Amino acid sequence: MMKMKRFWIGLVIVMIVGAGFYSFTRDERNFEVAKSLDIYHTLFRELNMFYVDEVNPNKLVKTSIDEMLESLDPYTTFISEDEMEDFRFMTTGEYAGIGALISKQKDKIIIAEPYEGFPAQKFGLKAGDVLIEVEGKPTKDMNTEDVSNLLKGPANKPVKIKYERYGQKKPIEVDVVREKIHIDAVPYYGMIDNTTAYIRLSNFTVNCSNEVKKAFLELKKNNPHSLILDLRGNPGGLLMEAVEIVNFFVPKGSEIVSTRGKVTQWDKVYKAASNPIDTTIKIAVLTNSGSASASEIVAGAIQDHDRGIIVGTRTFGKGLVQTTRDLSYNTKLKVTTAKYYIPSGRCIQALDYAHRNEDGSVGNIPDSLISEFTTKKGRKVYDGGGVAPDVKFESDALSSLSINLITKYLIFDFATKFSSENESIAPPEDFFITDDIYNQFIVYVNGNNFKYESQSQAELDELIKSAKKDKYYDMAESEFEALRAKLEPNFNKDAEHFSEEIKELLQDEIVSRYYYQKGAIRAAINDDKGIKKAIEELNSETAYSGYFKTGKIISMN
C-alpha cells in the first residue's frame, strides 16, 4: 500500500508541475507547487485513513488526475499502463488480435465486422456471430472492452472462441490464431468515372502518406483530370503524415503548417521537403464535422494555397498539438504543447472547445471573435474554429425511424438473416434492395414488435407537460390530442415514406456481409450526394476556377 501511495504521489507531482503556474516568479511558483502538493498529500492521506468505506487508491488518484487534466483541454490526458495497447493502436493502426470489430447488443457480445484478410475472417467468423466464450470465460456479464482484451494477445498464438450463429442450433468452437493486425488508412481508392479519381483516407497513422501515394500513383495510370480526397469522419493523427500528403500536390518549399507553443525551442515551420507528384490535377477535399486535426491541416493547406476546393461542412476545429511524455510505471502523459497554424496564418482551433453542438461540431462564433486572413491568391478566409468549405454541402439527416432501426439493431439483424439465407449477391456496384427484399424487411421488423417514438412526438409530450404545468392544457386539449394522433408513429406508413434512405442503409449493411468494408464503400459511392456534388464542381471549369478569384469570401459560419 505504501509503495502504491508513493507512486501516485510522485505521479501527481509530475502532472501538477507540468501544468505550471505561469504568472509567478520562480520562487513564488516553487512555493505554490510545494503548498498545493502538500495539501493534496495530506488530503489523500486523511481520506485513505478515515473515510468510512475502503477506498481504492489507484481509482481515487486516477479520477483526480483525469478531472485535473479535463480542466485544461479535452486532449491532455493520462494514459495508464493498461491503456497503452489502445494508445499504440491509435497511433500506428497495429495490434495483435483476430481482426474484428465487436459490439454489445443487449446482453450479447457480437461480431460487428470482421476485417477482410485477417484471422477472424480466415477462420470463418462472420458479422452477427454471438461470442459465448473467449478462452473458456463466459462473455455474458462482460463489456466489449473486457472481451477485446481477451481477444488480443501475442501474435501467432491461438485464442479459443465459442460462438453461436444465426440459423445453427449448436455453438461452434474454433481456435483463431492471432496476427499482427494493421488497419489500412486507405480503405478504398478507385476511379469513380473516366476522369475522376477517388481516395478515402480514414486516419493519419504511421506511413499513411505512403498508402495515399501508392493509391494516387496507381490512379494516375488512368490519366484522371481530377481527384476527390475524402476526409469525412477522419479524426486525424500524426502531423508529419499530413505534411507529406500535402507535399504531393504543392511545390517544394511551400509552407504547409507551423506550430507555436510555450516552449519556443519546439516551435517549427513545416514545409514541402520533396518534389511534388502532381501540381495541376484538380482537387476536391470532402470534409464534415468529424474531420479533425491532421485532416484540417490537409484541407486548410490545400485551401490556403488555392490548390483545390473544400466540399462539405465546417471541420471539427482541433488545432492543438499533443506530445507524449513518458512517466513512471509504463504510463504516459499526452499533453497539449502547441497550436498549429496553416499557411494563411489561421489557427484551426475552435475558440471555445467546451461548448460545441450536439454532434461535436463548432458552434456559432461571434463575428467579434473572428479574424480575417487571405489565401495565396487573395481570397478571404477566417479563423474561429475549423476549416469552412468553399462549397457548403450538408448530408441529409436521418429520420427518427432510421435511427431507431439502427440503434435497435434491426437493420443489422436483418442483414445477418439475409446473408445466412443467400449464398451470394451481385457485385457491390450492381446490388440494390429490390421491392421484394424491402418487403421481407418490413415483415421482419413487424415480427419483432418494433415500436419507436419520433422526435416530434417526444417534443410534443414535453410541450403538453409544460401546458399542464401552466394550466393551459384544458383550454386546448382537443387540439393537443389531434396533433398527437397525427404525429403518432406508424411503421408501415413511415417505412414507405422513408424507403429511399432505409434501402441505402440496408444495402450498405448487406453488401458488407459479402464484400466487407471495401465493398460497402463501393456500394455507397453511387448514392453519395457529397461525392456527386464534388464531381459536379470539378467538372465545371467555370465553377472550379471561380472559387480561386481574389477577394472571394469563404464563409465565416
**CA–CA distances in Å: residue 459 to residues 379, 472, 474, 487, 488:** 43, 17, 19, 11, 12
Which DSSP string do the residues of 433-452 spell out, in sequence order?
A: --HHHHHHHHHHHHHTT---
- C-alpha 277/C-alpha 307 separation (Å) is 13
- C-alpha 422/C-alpha 429 separation (Å) is 18
Q: Which of 129, 184, 230, 304 is catalytic?
A: 304
**CA–CA distances in Å: residue 108 to residues 91, 102, 270:** 30, 10, 48
Exposed/middle/buried for residue 474 (C-beta within 10 Å: 0-12, 13-18, 19+):
exposed
Residue type for 189, please? Y
- C-alpha 379/C-alpha 303 separation (Å) is 10
C-alpha cell of 337? 504543447
Q: Which of 126, 282, 318, 503 is catalytic?
A: 318
Strands (E), 172-214: 172-177, 179-182, 188-191, 196-200
What is the maximal distance between C-alpha atoms in the chain? 78
Tell me which residue of 532, 524, 529 sits closest to 503, measured CA to CA. 524
Catalytic site includes residue 304: yes
- Under DSSP, the state recorded for 94 is E
Catalytic site includes residue 282: no
Exposed/middle/buried for residue 36 (C-beta within 10 Å: 0-12, 13-18, 19+):
middle
DSSP-derived 3-state class of residue 104: strand
Catalytic site includes residue 395: no
- C-alpha 39/C-alpha 237 separation (Å) is 38
- C-alpha 316/C-alpha 411 separation (Å) is 29
- C-alpha 457/C-alpha 466 separation (Å) is 14
Evaluate whether 205 touches 237 at the Cβ level (below 8 Å): yes
- C-alpha 197/C-alpha 535 separation (Å) is 10
- C-alpha 320/C-alpha 293 separation (Å) is 8
Residue type for 332, please? K
Q: Which helix (H) or strand (E) holds 69?
A: helix 57-70
Q: Using alpha carbons only, how large is the chain's radius of gyration in Å?
A: 27
Phi, psi of 516 (to 5 degrees): 60, -160
C-alpha cell of 509? 449493411
Tell me which residue of 363, 367, 343, 345 sits closest to 354, measured CA to CA. 363
- 3-state per-residue secondary structure call for 416-483: HHHHHHCCCCCCCCCCCCCHHHHHHHHHHHHHCCCCCCCHHHHHHHHHHHHHHHCCCHHHHHHHHHHH
Q: Which of 293, 361, 400, 419 is catalytic?
A: 293
Residues recognised as catalytic: 293, 304, 318
